Amino acid sequence: MNVIKILIKNTFIISFITFIMFETFGFFLSKTNVIPSGSPAVISLFADKNFAVWHPKNMKFKHHYNTCWDPSYVTFNNIGARSTKDYYETKTKKRIALLGDSMIEMIHVNDNYDIGSLLSKNLKKFEILNFSARSMGLFDQIKIYRKMVRNYNVDHVIIFITENDLENNYVKDLKVFNPTRETFYVENDIIKKKPYDESWYNSYYSSINKFKRSKLMLLVKEYSYTFKVYFHIKTLLRQKKAVNQSKNISEKEFNILYSEIDNQAKVYKYLIQKFIKDIEKDDVNLYVVMNLRNYLFEKVDPYDFREILRKKHFEKLLELWQPHKPYFFYKEANEFIRQNQKKITGNFKNLGHVCDDHYSKFGAKFLSDQISGIFK
């Protein structure tokens, strides 16, 4: 009996000392910028059967994505929306709902400098509710509108359009499952829906996987330096794969992908019609805003087929939304860049982050000022 007690005691001591050593080592790596000082963004986004993806509730993260952007403090409120303020159904002033993807979720930007916070400061007569989340397509946003936004009796909806929206809810190969979201395809000129993978969700909602996403485990992932080392290694491996996937495509691949634009447009137009019906039924004012991206401001290499394709997608979306008079602040952005060209550098002249196309805090400020002008 004493031998067992000693064995348990020694195992505990060794495990504790090992953990402290890992934590100390991770702390050192973090302070010397070998690994990010914050948690990876992946831990603040969950698959969701209702909306495809959504955030944890009542959590604050310090996100840091390698060297791509500075650490950012990001808060998700009582319903899991990106905001430092909780949302309640009781209405005290007119409301504006924001619908978008990662461009408007803005986890790259600190709390109070994201577009929702800036619009709240600019438009004090309105309550701003940000329902944006990474990776969302139009059909996912329609479901967010139906199942969440409607509960808040909003007066205005601003939907933000990014070029990848054209393909987010489209599937060409019926053998390919997107487990988290419903997709659509065209068969004999008829648009059909392909459901999400029910068996995938059954596994995702298992007890062990729920525990992995519990608040306790999120706190461990947020504050443990051992986990930071683990996630950094995992992120590097993912980045390597992502870099390979994001490299320029061949002309043959471009032609195949380009040939899909017509069918993608048919699906997207169908989704626009569904969305507009909901908006009109609720007597809500709709504003459509085209997101600014780097390829709009830089000369695209004629052999960079991936960037050419992105631009073609953007042009098609601009065309599809034209009946609804989309706002496209390209001229205003160019004027901003011209006036500030001696002060600023970088991706679309500091409106975007150094190493990707997401808005920087300057981009968030520029966009919020333009939108505020509409309502003022």
Give 334 or 155, the one with higher predicted confidence: 155
Q: DSSP code of 294? A: G
The per-residue pLDDT for range 151-185, each reduced to its tens digit, is: 999 999 999 999 999 999 998 755 555 677 889 99
CA–CA gap between residue 276 and residue 79 (Å, rounded):
25
Identify which has the larger pLDDT, 218 or 178. 218
Q: Can you tell me which residue has the tokens 């064995």?
A: 7
Query: Smallest Cα–Cα separation from 101: which of 192, 167, 185, 173?
Result: 167
Query: How many helices and strands, by DSSP H and E, does the chain display?
Result: 14, 10
333: number of Cβ within 10 Å: 20
Mean pLDDT over 278-285 rounds to 97
Condensed to tens digits (0 to 9), the pLDDT of residues 254-267 reads: 888 888 999 999 99
Q: Which of 375, 370, 365, 373 is nearest to 117 (CA)?
A: 365
pLDDT of residue 173: 58
pTM: 0.89
Q: Report pLDDT digits (tens) over 35-59.
A: 777 888 888 999 888 888 999 999 9
Provide the pLDDT for residue 68. 63
Per-residue confidence band for 120, with pLDDT thresholds at 50, 70 and 90: very high
Q: What's the average model confidence in pLDDT over 197-211?
A: 85
Other residues' Cβ atoms within 10 Å of the Cβ of residue 239: 14
